[in-house]
Amino acid sequence: TKSDLRDRAGYLNARNTLLALLGLKVICIVNENDVVSVDEIQETKFGDNDNLSAMVANLIDADLLLLLTDIEGLYDADPHYSRDAKMIEKVSKITPDIERLASDTSSHTGVGGMITKIEAAKMATACGINVIIADGREKDVILRLASGEALGTHFSPVSSKMESRKRWMLSGLSIKGKLVVDSGAARALGKQNRSLLAAGIKSIEGKFKRGDTVT
């Protein structure tokens, strides 16, 4: 559950366990514990396997995340309804326009669809991980993608690999509030990797306490 990753010690324990198993050439199958993860109000649920996969990829510092589905990749229109839909082969940055291309395909038996895959890709690429959305029905699709064959839609990382603590903060913690900063503070944070000073804060949204994560 999310609470397992929210705690720094739990995050590191999960990471070390998965890396040890991978070192023994064990294929790990990870699924959310729905029995104990029932309180969505407290934000303990991942909600879907797409976002869970992005968090696991982030947890083990993966180079590539494969999201397999029933279509070839991300299209400029829904291929189930439009014959003119064209697949987008490469996405260098997930913009609002890219997010709008995703249509919700949630069903009665699960939560997911292209929207959650784009959300997962956004998280993973922010951590420096390559992401590919491809058709899981293709023969030997995983081996072919691992060998470098161009299939599906490739999402490029938007940054180099983050250090471990920043990756933990991005994936494991729930956002409790929002800080609106001035242009000088935004520049210092975004381009100069400096700390935020109180003078640069214009307004605050939400309720949070010391140690909580804000954006």
Structure tokens belonging to residue 109: 């038996």
Q: What is the pLDDT of residue 19?
A: 95
Annotated domain spans of the chain: 2-167, 174-214
Does the domain at 2-167 match CATH 1.10.275.10? Answer given as: no
User: How, if at all, do strands 64-69 and 153-155 pair?
Assistant: unpaired
- Could you report the per-residue pLDDT of 142-187, keeping only the tens digit for each? 999 999 999 999 999 987 776 666 766 666 556 778 889 888 888 8
Average pLDDT score over the chain: 82
Using a cut of 0.85, tell me whether the model's pTM lies above it: no
- Return the pLDDT at 37: 54
Q: What is the pLDDT of residue 208?
A: 82
pLDDT 10s digits, 17-65: 999 999 999 999 988 776 655 544 455 455 578 888 998 999 999 999 9
